[in-house]
Structure 1
Protein backbone atom coordinates (compact mmCIF):
# COMPACT_ATOMS: atom_id res chain seq x y z
CA UNK A 1 0.00 0.00 0.00
CA UNK A 2 2.75 2.44 0.98
CA UNK A 3 4.87 1.60 -2.07
CA UNK A 4 1.94 1.99 -4.45
CA UNK A 5 1.15 5.54 -3.30
CA UNK A 6 4.52 6.94 -2.28
CA UNK A 7 7.25 4.86 -3.90
CA UNK A 8 10.75 4.72 -2.53
CA UNK A 9 12.62 6.55 -5.30
CA UNK A 10 13.17 9.94 -3.71
CA UNK A 11 16.23 12.02 -2.90
CA UNK A 12 14.84 14.98 -0.96
CA UNK A 13 11.75 15.60 1.14
CA UNK A 14 10.08 18.66 2.55
CA UNK A 15 9.04 18.54 6.20
CA UNK A 16 5.38 18.17 5.16
CA UNK A 17 6.17 15.26 2.82
CA UNK A 18 8.23 13.59 5.54
CA UNK A 19 5.37 13.89 8.04
CA UNK A 20 2.91 12.43 5.50
CA UNK A 21 5.26 9.56 4.69
CA UNK A 22 5.98 8.88 8.36
CA UNK A 23 2.27 8.79 9.18
CA UNK A 24 1.66 6.39 6.29
CA UNK A 25 4.59 4.22 7.39
CA UNK A 26 3.06 4.07 10.86
CA UNK A 27 -0.29 3.02 9.39
CA UNK A 28 1.47 0.40 7.26
CA UNK A 29 3.18 -1.04 10.33
CA UNK A 30 -0.10 -1.05 12.22
CA UNK A 31 -1.57 -3.34 9.56
CA UNK A 32 1.45 -5.63 9.44
CA UNK A 33 3.55 -4.13 6.64
CA UNK A 34 6.65 -2.94 8.49
CA UNK A 35 9.17 -0.80 6.54
CA UNK A 36 11.97 0.12 8.99
CA UNK A 37 14.53 0.94 6.27
CA UNK A 38 12.17 3.48 4.67
CA UNK A 39 11.48 5.08 8.04
CA UNK A 40 15.22 5.33 8.65
CA UNK A 41 15.67 7.05 5.26
CA UNK A 42 12.92 9.55 6.05
CA UNK A 43 14.48 10.26 9.47
CA UNK A 44 17.96 10.69 7.97
CA UNK A 45 16.63 13.25 5.46
CA UNK A 46 16.46 15.71 8.38
CA UNK A 47 19.58 16.14 10.52
CA UNK A 48 17.97 18.32 13.20
CA UNK A 49 16.51 16.67 16.27
CA UNK A 50 13.41 18.87 15.99
CA UNK A 51 12.54 17.65 12.50
CA UNK A 52 13.30 14.06 13.41
CA UNK A 53 10.99 14.31 16.41
CA UNK A 54 8.17 15.57 14.16
CA UNK A 55 8.70 12.62 11.84
CA UNK A 56 8.77 10.22 14.77
CA UNK A 57 5.58 11.70 16.22
CA UNK A 58 3.79 11.36 12.88
CA UNK A 59 4.92 7.74 12.63
CA UNK A 60 3.72 6.96 16.16
CA UNK A 61 0.40 8.68 15.47
CA UNK A 62 -0.15 6.64 12.31
CA UNK A 63 0.74 3.38 14.03
CA UNK A 64 -1.52 4.13 17.00
CA UNK A 65 -4.48 5.05 14.81
CA UNK A 66 -3.95 1.95 12.66
CA UNK A 67 -3.82 -0.36 15.67
CA UNK A 68 -7.03 1.20 17.01
CA UNK A 69 -8.78 0.93 13.64
CA UNK A 70 -7.54 -2.63 13.04
CA UNK A 71 -9.55 -3.83 16.03
CA UNK A 72 -12.75 -2.87 14.18
CA UNK A 73 -11.78 -3.66 10.57
CA UNK A 74 -11.74 -6.98 8.73
CA UNK A 75 -8.88 -6.28 6.32
CA UNK A 76 -5.69 -4.19 6.36
CA UNK A 77 -6.84 -2.35 3.23
CA UNK A 78 -9.90 -1.06 5.11
CA UNK A 79 -7.66 0.38 7.82
CA UNK A 80 -5.36 1.98 5.24
CA UNK A 81 -8.27 3.52 3.30
CA UNK A 82 -9.85 4.82 6.50
CA UNK A 83 -6.66 6.63 7.56
CA UNK A 84 -4.83 7.56 4.32
CA UNK A 85 -6.42 9.04 1.19
CA UNK A 86 -5.56 8.23 -2.44
CA UNK A 87 -2.90 10.98 -2.54
CA UNK A 88 -1.17 9.64 0.57
CA UNK A 89 -2.34 12.36 2.94
CA UNK A 90 -3.76 11.48 6.35
CA UNK A 91 -7.56 11.74 6.30
CA UNK A 92 -7.39 13.40 9.71
CA UNK A 93 -4.33 15.62 10.05
CA UNK A 94 -1.92 14.36 12.69
CA UNK A 95 -2.08 17.70 14.49
CA UNK A 96 0.36 16.76 17.20
CA UNK A 97 2.82 15.63 14.55
CA UNK A 98 2.33 18.58 12.24
CA UNK A 99 2.40 21.30 14.88
CA UNK A 100 4.77 21.46 17.82
CA UNK A 101 3.07 21.21 21.20
CA UNK A 102 3.78 24.81 22.12
CA UNK A 103 1.88 26.07 19.08
CA UNK A 104 -1.14 23.84 19.65
CA UNK A 105 -1.35 25.06 23.23
CA UNK A 106 -1.46 28.71 22.17
CA UNK A 107 -4.76 30.43 21.57
CA UNK A 108 -3.74 31.06 17.96
CA UNK A 109 -5.14 27.67 17.02
CA UNK A 110 -8.36 28.03 19.03
CA UNK A 111 -11.36 30.29 18.58
CA UNK A 112 -11.35 33.45 20.67
CA UNK A 113 -13.17 33.23 23.98
CA UNK A 114 -16.47 35.06 24.25
CA UNK A 115 -16.91 37.69 26.93
CA UNK A 116 -14.41 39.64 29.03
CA UNK A 117 -11.14 38.12 30.20
CA UNK A 118 -11.44 36.49 33.60
CA UNK A 119 -9.03 39.05 35.07
CA UNK A 120 -11.53 41.83 34.23
CA UNK A 121 -14.55 39.94 35.49
CA UNK A 122 -16.10 40.97 38.83
CA UNK A 123 -15.27 38.81 41.83
CA UNK A 124 -18.19 36.65 42.96
CA UNK A 125 -18.62 38.71 46.16
CA UNK A 126 -19.43 41.82 44.09
CA UNK A 127 -22.12 40.08 42.02
CA UNK A 128 -25.71 39.82 43.20
Structure 2
Protein backbone atom coordinates (compact mmCIF):
# COMPACT_ATOMS: atom_id res chain seq x y z
CA UNK A 1 0.00 0.00 0.00
CA UNK A 2 2.71 2.44 1.02
CA UNK A 3 4.86 1.51 -2.00
CA UNK A 4 1.98 2.02 -4.44
CA UNK A 5 1.03 5.37 -2.95
CA UNK A 6 4.43 6.94 -2.25
CA UNK A 7 7.16 4.87 -3.85
CA UNK A 8 10.57 4.46 -2.28
CA UNK A 9 12.85 5.96 -4.93
CA UNK A 10 13.39 9.40 -3.41
CA UNK A 11 16.63 11.24 -2.71
CA UNK A 12 15.51 14.05 -0.43
CA UNK A 13 12.39 15.08 1.45
CA UNK A 14 10.90 18.31 2.68
CA UNK A 15 9.62 18.29 6.26
CA UNK A 16 5.94 18.21 5.28
CA UNK A 17 6.42 15.31 2.88
CA UNK A 18 8.42 13.39 5.48
CA UNK A 19 5.65 13.88 8.05
CA UNK A 20 3.04 12.58 5.59
CA UNK A 21 5.20 9.57 4.74
CA UNK A 22 5.84 8.85 8.41
CA UNK A 23 2.13 8.99 9.18
CA UNK A 24 1.44 6.56 6.33
CA UNK A 25 4.25 4.30 7.52
CA UNK A 26 2.65 4.26 10.97
CA UNK A 27 -0.69 3.29 9.47
CA UNK A 28 1.00 0.58 7.40
CA UNK A 29 2.85 -0.77 10.44
CA UNK A 30 -0.36 -1.07 12.44
CA UNK A 31 -2.19 -2.96 9.70
CA UNK A 32 0.65 -5.43 9.27
CA UNK A 33 2.37 -3.86 6.28
CA UNK A 34 5.20 -2.11 8.14
CA UNK A 35 8.43 -1.04 6.49
CA UNK A 36 10.99 -0.25 9.21
CA UNK A 37 13.80 0.29 6.67
CA UNK A 38 11.78 3.03 4.93
CA UNK A 39 11.07 4.71 8.27
CA UNK A 40 14.80 4.69 9.01
CA UNK A 41 15.48 6.30 5.63
CA UNK A 42 12.92 9.03 6.30
CA UNK A 43 14.46 9.70 9.72
CA UNK A 44 17.98 9.79 8.28
CA UNK A 45 16.92 12.43 5.74
CA UNK A 46 17.10 15.04 8.51
CA UNK A 47 20.00 16.20 10.62
CA UNK A 48 18.07 18.12 13.26
CA UNK A 49 16.56 16.38 16.26
CA UNK A 50 13.48 18.59 15.93
CA UNK A 51 12.69 17.33 12.42
CA UNK A 52 13.33 13.72 13.41
CA UNK A 53 11.04 14.08 16.42
CA UNK A 54 8.25 15.42 14.16
CA UNK A 55 8.69 12.39 11.91
CA UNK A 56 8.54 10.06 14.92
CA UNK A 57 5.42 11.81 16.23
CA UNK A 58 3.73 11.46 12.84
CA UNK A 59 4.62 7.75 12.75
CA UNK A 60 3.18 7.22 16.24
CA UNK A 61 0.06 9.19 15.30
CA UNK A 62 -0.41 7.02 12.21
CA UNK A 63 -0.21 3.87 14.31
CA UNK A 64 -2.66 5.29 16.85
CA UNK A 65 -5.18 6.41 14.22
CA UNK A 66 -4.97 3.03 12.46
CA UNK A 67 -5.57 1.20 15.72
CA UNK A 68 -8.59 3.40 16.45
CA UNK A 69 -9.97 3.03 12.91
CA UNK A 70 -9.64 -0.75 13.03
CA UNK A 71 -11.38 -0.88 16.41
CA UNK A 72 -14.25 1.37 15.26
CA UNK A 73 -14.81 -0.56 12.05
CA UNK A 74 -14.66 -3.88 13.86
CA UNK A 75 -13.18 -5.40 10.75
CA UNK A 76 -9.79 -6.81 9.93
CA UNK A 77 -9.63 -5.26 6.47
CA UNK A 78 -6.25 -3.50 6.16
CA UNK A 79 -7.23 -1.82 2.89
CA UNK A 80 -10.30 -0.21 4.50
CA UNK A 81 -8.19 1.21 7.34
CA UNK A 82 -5.60 2.51 4.86
CA UNK A 83 -8.27 4.12 2.66
CA UNK A 84 -9.90 5.75 5.69
CA UNK A 85 -6.66 7.39 6.83
CA UNK A 86 -4.59 7.99 3.67
CA UNK A 87 -5.99 9.30 0.39
CA UNK A 88 -4.90 8.12 -3.05
CA UNK A 89 -2.36 10.93 -3.37
CA UNK A 90 -0.68 10.04 -0.11
CA UNK A 91 -2.05 12.88 1.99
CA UNK A 92 -3.34 11.95 5.43
CA UNK A 93 -7.08 12.40 5.81
CA UNK A 94 -6.47 13.58 9.40
CA UNK A 95 -3.79 15.94 10.67
CA UNK A 96 -0.68 13.81 11.27
CA UNK A 97 0.73 15.78 14.19
CA UNK A 98 -1.44 18.83 14.74
CA UNK A 99 -1.10 18.78 18.52
CA UNK A 100 2.67 18.44 18.30
CA UNK A 101 3.34 21.29 15.88
CA UNK A 102 4.04 24.77 17.18
CA UNK A 103 1.22 27.25 16.77
CA UNK A 104 2.85 28.90 13.77
CA UNK A 105 2.72 25.64 11.82
CA UNK A 106 -0.76 24.37 12.56
CA UNK A 107 -3.42 24.72 9.94
CA UNK A 108 -5.65 26.71 12.30
CA UNK A 109 -3.12 29.49 12.80
CA UNK A 110 -2.51 29.73 9.07
CA UNK A 111 -6.10 30.82 8.55
CA UNK A 112 -6.17 33.41 11.34
CA UNK A 113 -5.71 37.05 10.55
CA UNK A 114 -2.74 38.74 12.20
CA UNK A 115 -3.49 40.64 15.37
CA UNK A 116 -3.88 44.39 15.02
CA UNK A 117 -1.77 46.71 17.14
CA UNK A 118 1.37 46.11 19.16
CA UNK A 119 2.15 42.78 20.80
CA UNK A 120 0.72 42.43 24.29
CA UNK A 121 4.22 42.56 25.76
CA UNK A 122 4.54 46.15 24.48
CA UNK A 123 1.20 47.39 25.78
CA UNK A 124 0.94 49.45 28.92
CA UNK A 125 0.02 47.57 32.08
CA UNK A 126 -3.60 48.13 33.08
CA UNK A 127 -2.60 50.17 36.13
CA UNK A 128 -0.98 52.79 33.86
CA UNK A 129 -4.01 53.21 31.60
CA UNK A 130 -6.65 55.83 32.36
Q: Fold-level match, TM-score > 0.5?
A: yes
Contact kept? 1:22, 1:59, Cα under 8 Å: yes
Q: Which runs of 5+ in 2 are unaligned?
A: 114-125
Runs of 4+ in 1 over 2 A off after TM superposition: 108-112
Q: Scaled by the length of structure 1, what TM-score is found?
A: 0.77
State the shift of 1:111 in Å: 6.9
Q: Does 1:46 align with 2:46?
A: yes
| Cα distance in 2 between the residues matched to 1:85 and 1:30 | 17
| Cα distance in 2 between the residues matched to 1:4 and 1:96 | 29
Q: CA RMSD in A?
A: 2.3
Match of 1:11, SS? Answer: coil
- 1:4-42 Cα shifts (integer Å, max 9, x gaps): 000110100000110000000000011111110000000
| Cα distance in 1 between the residues matched to 2:8 and 2:80 | 23
- Of Structure 1 and Structure 2, which has the larger fraction of its residues in helix? 1
Aligned residues: 109
